[in-house]
Amino acid sequence: MSDAVKVTRDGDVALIELNEPASRNAFSQDIRDGLRDAAAALTGDATLRAVVLTGTGGVFSAGGDLKAMLRRHKSGEEYSHDTAKARMEALHDWFKQFCALPVPVIAAVDGPAYGAGFGLAMCADIVIASERAEFGASFAKVGAVPDCNLMWSLPRIIGLQKARELFYTARVVGATEAQALGICMEVLPPEAVLPRALEIAGMMQETSQLAFSLTKELTGRALQSDAETMLKLEAEAQAQCLTSEYHINAIGRFTEKKPPKFNFS
């Protein structure tokens, strides 16, 4: 695992930290490689119950590494249409793995989450932000289009018109406005953000991985499916859950007046 991305475990919860604060956790090749390795390591991990994603040094991520891009252009290195597309597709490979993790992903955003960093935060199921958090789709400033799945995720979170406004203007959204728009769920003092994200993740350690994975998969499809399709998917998913060992154990504990394993109170 790259030093640029630290991955630690506390029981069934994985903490992923972008760890190049000198560059404001921009998407350097080392950070890209570290996130790729983290996604690969966590995919298929049957012991995993939740993931917390954050940045170090008071910055979530400044997005694309513009200095590296400029060096690449000035060096005379071949950077054709095909080369640029291949780099994006390589990024998409591990990004899709993050989005498809069958467990809750919680982003603890302190400071800027710009460009690709904004996209990375939006792949989370829950976003907790600090009072100094900022979200910006800054791509238009450098003549680029939103990436890291932001053109899919942001319209679904805040609506198409508002997403287009943020894309077109590239303006920065502060924590209070971000919460009002639904970009983040809670706004807390900087020192409270990561502990709160870890607290929420810890509540999910005794959960049914099957139920959570199916809930995440189906809700991810809800906005592009019709009601009839969702009912069929719901019936199949519920049949799997109601015949699972976890469910049988849970209703047994209920009838015996024992506390549930999963307690999100």
Q: Is residue 265 part of a domain?
A: no
- Overall number of domains in the chain: 2
Decide if 193 contacts 128 (C-beta within 8 A). yes
Domain containing residue 244: CATH number: 1.10.12
- The phi and psi torsions of 208 (rounded to 5 degrees) equal -85, 110
Q: Are 159 and 181 members of one domain?
A: yes
Q: Are 187 and 242 members of one domain?
A: no
Q: Are 70 and 137 members of one domain?
A: yes
DSSP per residue over 53-86, as a string? EEESTT-SB--B-HHHHHHHHHTT----HHHHHH
Q: Are 155 and 170 members of one domain?
A: yes
pTM over 0.85: yes
Distance CA 86, CA 144 (A): 16
Q: Is residue 64 part of a domain?
A: yes
Q: Are 133 and 231 members of one domain?
A: no
Distance CA 65, CA 85 (A): 16
Closest to 179 (Cα-Cα) out of 153, 152, 157? 157
Q: Are 155 and 198 members of one domain?
A: yes
Decide if 59 contacts 24 (C-beta within 8 A). yes
Q: Are 179 and 66 members of one domain?
A: yes
Domain containing residue 160: CATH number: 3.90.226.10
**Which strand ranges, in their side-by-side order, compose the sheet holding 172-174?**
112-114, 134-136, 172-174
- Give the range of the structural domain holding residue 216, as residue numbers without chain letter: 209-255
Last residue of a domain, which of 160, 175, 202? Answer: 202
| Tokens linked to 178 | 């971000």
- From first to last of its 265 residues, the chain has per-residue pLDDT tens of 569 999 999 999 999 999 999 999 999 999 999 999 999 999 989 899 999 999 999 999 998 766 766 666 666 666 788 888 998 898 888 889 988 999 999 999 999 999 999 999 999 999 999 999 999 999 998 899 999 999 999 999 999 999 999 999 999 999 999 999 999 999 999 999 999 999 999 988 788 889 999 999 999 899 889 999 999 999 999 999 999 999 999 999 889 888 877 765 4
DSSP per residue over 14-41, as a string? EEEEE--GGGTT-B-HHHHHHHHHHHHH
Last residue of a domain, which of 179, 202, 225? Answer: 202
At 127, which amino acid appears? V
Query: 82 to each of 19, 93, 191, how far by Cα in Å?
Result: 30, 16, 44
Q: Are 161 and 231 members of one domain?
A: no
Q: Are 251 and 133 members of one domain?
A: no
Q: Are 222 and 142 members of one domain?
A: no
